[in-house]
Chain A
């Protein structure tokens, strides 16, 4: 049974091409994926991401629970509203999911996890939460709209109640706050995203989602599909769960070492396995590749290096760069000249530090 977000009819009325995405009927584009990509890089675009799962955690030991559950440390969250990106690991150090956690009160945290992993995430979180007496409450009554691009914040601010504008304008990166939207609708506005551009991700009660979408459209925000979201996040150097990492991959092997907090005395799930792997030497690394020749790097293609074969994880034509880029997982060590097998032809690729694009511009060396 395919699930539908509350904006499904709105997408269809806009002529969206719909696809199945992790069991959800979602818009892949509204005509041209490349134009939608450029709209986000150059102005402002919006994505229906209501399929994502919102989970609230309540309890006196909520913080202790998250210090155990997550590989990044919620001790970093000092101010209410502040957010943190983290992996949730299994005992083997494999990634169950990546998520954002918001600090909303001393006994109240909010998680936003992936749609495709919803069932296993909830099962895992509930199982771990029992020992801490933490209540795990899914919030399916929220829709979620991501508004992204250099002009995204200004366009959202214009729709907020006057009393909230100055406060939301001052909201720092990776922080969230409540605000009133059009007709007084209650919003949870987070300055986060998955595109490499500034903007907000907005939680809105389902019954107000269509009105918010229409108000944003009237303010000149272009609807953008999940196709553009994928090329935007790839250019921005952001991992996609299930493609770039999964339960058989540690964060060290997915270039997510920066999200691991090996702080003194914190016994999080997977820590022992991570420390063991680090001490023994991480066998595989995730790298960025650029193809300067014509062609497109794609998931599953074989990558040939001096140390053996690897594979393309996420790969696509990058509209901002007008050439193909990819993440690949290859054997650790000096890789030498790297080639990618595209339909039997071995094409040379360049190993680069990513992100490939930030704030609308190609990064140095890309």
Chain B
């Protein structure tokens, strides 16, 4: 399993959020989550301009095994989606914290970030899940 980057925040439902310049928050799923799902074969991206709410489903990833909702860690407007996943959904398996990002949101309420787990707390969560 790859190291969890320290600049990420997490949902308990295994999505990560990376705060970038200008109030942009990039979202993906954790390496642990991609491992649990197995080989991804399809990603249903949100539409650019769609509004998403923290804790609500914003995208869907499908592995050979199952379909899973992706819950947005923050509320706001979708301003970018990772079109490359349409042809190469396996990018999430290969690089969950980098090239495998799913969408980016212009955050409407930065206070929501405080509700998320930091890397250390997330690591603890998945360790407890494994045992």
A contacts, CB < 8 Å to B: 17, 28-29, 32-34, 227, 231, 294-296, 298, 316-317, 319, 343
Whether the Cβ atoms of B64 and A319 lie closer than 8 Å is yes
Looking at the assembled complex, report how far the CB atom of A158 sits from the nearest CB atom of chain B, in whole angstroms: 31
Residues of B within 8 A of A319 (CB): 64
Whether the Cβ atoms of B60 and A317 lie closer than 8 Å is no
Whether the Cβ atoms of A343 and B38 lie closer than 8 Å is no
Among residues of A, the one whose C-beta sits closest to the C-beta of B36 is A17
B contacts, CB < 8 Å to A: 35, 38-39, 41-42, 44, 60, 62, 64-67, 86, 93
Whether the Cβ atoms of A227 and B42 lie closer than 8 Å is no
Looking at the assembled complex, report how far the CB atom of B46 sits from the nearest CB atom of chain A, in whole angstroms: 14
Residues of A within 8 A of B38 (CB): 17, 28-29, 32-33, 227
9 contacts between A and B (CB under 8 A): A17-B38, A33-B64, A33-B65, A34-B64, A295-B44, A295-B62, A296-B67, A316-B64, A343-B60
Looking at the assembled complex, report how far the CB atom of B131 sits from the nearest CB atom of chain A, in whole angstroms: 14
Among residues of B, the one whose C-beta sits closest to the C-beta of A345 is B44
Residues of A within 8 A of B93 (CB): 32
Dominant secondary structure at the B interface:
mixed
Q: Contacts A295-B62, A296-B62, A343-B60 known; A317 to B67 CB distance under 8 Å? A: no
Looking at the assembled complex, report how far the CB atom of A291 sits from the nearest CB atom of chain B, in whole angstroms: 10
Whether the Cβ atoms of A298 and B67 lie closer than 8 Å is yes
A343 vs B61: C-alpha distance when bound (angstroms): 13
Looking at the assembled complex, report how far the CB atom of A337 sits from the nearest CB atom of chain B, in whole angstroms: 23
Whether the Cβ atoms of B64 and A227 lie closer than 8 Å is yes
Whether the Cβ atoms of A231 and B42 lie closer than 8 Å is no
Residues of B within 8 A of A298 (CB): 66-67
Among residues of A, the one whose C-beta sits closest to the C-beta of B89 is A294
A45 vs B103: C-alpha distance when bound (angstroms): 37
Residues of A within 8 A of B41 (CB): 34, 296, 317
Whether the Cβ atoms of B39 and A33 lie closer than 8 Å is yes
Q: Contacts A227-B65, A296-B67 known; A34 to B39 CB distance under 8 Å? A: yes
Whether the Cβ atoms of A294 and B42 lie closer than 8 Å is yes
Residues of B within 8 A of A294 (CB): 42, 86
Whether the Cβ atoms of A32 and B67 lie closer than 8 Å is no
A298 vs B42: C-alpha distance when bound (angstroms): 13
Of A17, A295, A317, A343, which is within 8 A of B64 by CB?
A317
Residues of B within 8 A of A343 (CB): 60, 67
Looking at the assembled complex, report how far the CB atom of A12 sits from the nearest CB atom of chain B, in whole angstroms: 13
Whether the Cβ atoms of B42 and A296 lie closer than 8 Å is yes
Residues of A within 8 A of B67 (CB): 296, 298, 343
A33 vs B35: C-alpha distance when bound (angstroms): 11
Residues of B within 8 A of A316 (CB): 64
Among residues of A, the one whose C-beta sits closest to the C-beta of B86 is A294
Looking at the assembled complex, report how far the CB atom of B122 sits from the nearest CB atom of chain A, in whole angstroms: 20
Among residues of A, the one whose C-beta sits closest to the C-beta of B41 is A317
Residues of B within 8 A of A32 (CB): 38-39, 93
A59 vs B130: C-alpha distance when bound (angstroms): 50
Looking at the assembled complex, report how far the CB atom of A16 sits from the nearest CB atom of chain B, in whole angstroms: 12
**Of listed B35, B66, B67, residue having the most chain A CB within 10 A:** B67
A227 vs B44: C-alpha distance when bound (angstroms): 23
Residues of B within 8 A of A296 (CB): 41-42, 62, 67
Residues of A within 8 A of B39 (CB): 32-34
A226 vs B60: C-alpha distance when bound (angstroms): 24
A187 vs B93: C-alpha distance when bound (angstroms): 39
Question: Closest 8 A-B residue pairs measured CB to CB?
Answer: A317-B41, A34-B39, A296-B62, A317-B64, A33-B64, A33-B39, A33-B38, A294-B42
Looking at the assembled complex, report how far the CB atom of B62 sits from the nearest CB atom of chain A, in whole angstroms: 5
A28 vs B36: C-alpha distance when bound (angstroms): 11
A319 vs B89: C-alpha distance when bound (angstroms): 13
